A and B are shown apart, each in its own frame.
Chain A
Amino acid sequence: MTTSRWLSAGQLRGLRKVGDIVMPGNDEFPSFSQSGAIAHVDRMLDYVKDSDRDGLRLVFGLFRVLPGPAVRSILALSERHRWLPGPLGAAARQINLGVKGVVFTLYYSDVGSGRSIHELIGYDAKVIAPAVPSGEV
């Protein structure tokens, strides 16, 4: 069972719910929750600004109690941020960037369990480093 220093059990459920909407998976790709990446959420939340973390906790807490179609509708509305005026558009962008930022960062960083996401999308960047550890600085 995943635990977090920053998210309550309910907020984690909200993240898992919206994560599976953002990244539903298919026969080839695991869904967000199947990827197991949520176990690493604190690796990013440890470094997020307090105000941003508070915002994410609020959103994930809300998503936990909303039905799936309502969460999907909010996300879909946030995608239309360019057509929303002033502060509404800014708020939509913040929700969109915040939610997708957490989900995509966890999923596409390839830190979960199971089959490598990088392998599935064909991302194989590498630098062959010397075996000798560095001693500079």
Chain B
Amino acid sequence: MGNEAKTYDAIIVGAGTSGSCVASALSAAGLRCLILEAGKRFARDTYPRAELDANSQLYWGGGIELNTDADIGFLRARVVGGGSIVNQALMDRFDDVALDSWRQRSGVPFFTGEAMAPWYDKAESELCLQYIPTEYRNRNAQIFAEGFAANGYVCAPLRRAQRDCRFQDGNDCIVCLSGCPIDSKQSMPVTVLRRALEAGAELRAETEVLQVAEVDGGVTVTARSAGNGEETYRAGALVLAGGAIGTSSLLLRSGFAARLPLLGRNFYSHPQYMHLAVYDDPVDAHKGPMQSLKSADPNFRRYGFKLENVYAPPVAIAMLLPGFGHAHLERMRRLRQFACIEVSVRDQNPGQVRVDGRGQTVLEKQLDGEDRARRDRGFAAVRNIFLATGAREIVEGSFGISLHLMGGCNMGTDPGTSVVSPEFKLHGCKRIYATDGSIFPDAPGINPALTIMALSWRAGEQIVKDLRA
């Protein structure tokens, strides 16, 4: 084990959305930052292109991690840029429904639209945000819109972080689920993280943090690198930005459970269920913009679910279809005829991130009766949409997929009911901060990326103030 101690003003664990924003804020203030990231660092011409390699190299667990019941799969990015590399860059502000719930649950006064507005402004100013032009909507989106209209539902365009997808060239956004080859998608490595590195932040990829501790006058971080074995780093502050599962499990492995009894609890994930429908003619849901519309129906919001037009590459579609053998192959032959709509559940039954005796992360997460009711109301709406638009067969998704990983270190004013203070510090710690989706008090039912950015910018300002005090 290397013993050379290196000192920074701050060490940031995770080079995803949150870590990039905090690093940018601290570096711009002249602070020396080290960012440690377990995943690899790719560029637009080096992202893995085969679905096999993308799943293996861009996610923890070789592609997917399962809950203890094996009925929900968690997609957790493991790559420089984090979720911003593998998501569809959907950027929405939270509404009053989400923020009111957070404020009531946490007691944190700045969870209001007005107080969050400057931080949303800041987050949005770092990205190019666009809506998909109507003329480029693919047939899957048209079915979505037609089905909504036929049923009297309300839908709306999705806002994406993208600069120039060049749809006129026939580009297909589904490719960018494993990293955008033309840097149109406004991922962290081409936006915020790039500016952090230009301002002097240091990035170490393929370096997994094993243990963290608060010591007199600072923090220590023990990490294992691909080539250098274990090393210990020192800093004046530690910022945990490894995502809900990463941050929670790292703190659990580092022995913080005794002082933070709620650590790992209140874990949410917006379980998503993809439904396929077979049409007579090709839909080609994989062509052009993969996602361009979402539900905006106040009843859906009230009932606790939302819908999006979505699709996935062949391996993922094969996994969603039931059965095997000739019957399965016959369905895959009709891949071009599938339309797809996703039900995303605003889950209200929290799960728990645990660490077992061998240090392995364990994810306990189930839907309760209310969650299942929300999911089933979503199913019913999808059925209505497909049946109104001429679907020949509907294949209902039975396997939950979770990409919005939130909670585990929920923010609140009361140490008895939360893990992180409104100043983004772990309760009882002076120098350890958490800034990522782990601090969410509950599931908002809205894509979390923009809010993670907004909160991280706010946290960055707080940390700069603290370090200069």
- Tell whether A40 pairs with B52 under 8 Å between CB atoms, given A21-B324, A137-B190: yes
Mark contacts of B144-186 with chain A using CB atoms, 8 A cut-off: 1 yes-contact digit, 0 otherwise: 0000000000000000000000100111101110001111000
By beta carbon, the residue of chain B nearest A120 is: B333
Contact of A47 among B51, B62, B194, B326 (CB under 8 A): B62
The B-contacting residues of A in range 105-126, CB under 8 angstroms, are 105-111, 117-118, 120-126
Flag if B62 contacts A26 (CB, 8 Å): no
Shortest CB distance A33–B (Å): 14
Shortest CB distance B289–A (Å): 12
Chain A residues bordering chain B, tally (CB within 8 A) = 54
* A136–B163 CA distance with the chains assembled, in angstroms: 16
Residues of chain A contacted by B332 (CB below 8 angstroms):
108, 121
Flag if A47 contacts B56 (CB, 8 Å): yes
Residues of chain B contacted by A51 (CB below 8 angstroms):
360
Flag if A136 contacts B62 (CB, 8 Å): no
By beta carbon, the residue of chain A nearest B174 is: A125
* A22–B326 CA distance with the chains assembled, in angstroms: 8
Residues of chain B contacted by A90 (CB below 8 angstroms):
68-71
Residues of chain A contacted by B62 (CB below 8 angstroms):
44-45, 47-49, 52
Contact of B452 with A by CB under 8 A: no
Contact of A5 with B by CB under 8 A: no
The A-contacting residues of B in range 38-86, CB under 8 angstroms, are 41, 43-46, 50-53, 55-57, 61-64, 66, 68-71, 73, 80
Residues of chain A contacted by B329 (CB below 8 angstroms):
23-26, 29
What 4 pairs between A and B have smallest CB-CB spacing? A109-B52, A48-B62, A93-B70, A47-B56
Residues of B within 8 A of A (CB): 41, 43-46, 50-53, 55-57, 61-64, 66, 68-71, 73, 80, 166, 169-172, 174-176, 180-183, 189-190, 193-194, 197, 203, 282, 286-287, 313-315, 318-319, 322-326, 328-329, 332-333, 335-336, 360, 398
Residues of A within 8 A of B (CB): 21-26, 29, 40, 43-49, 51-52, 75, 79, 82, 89-91, 93-94, 97, 100-101, 104-111, 117-118, 120-130, 133-137
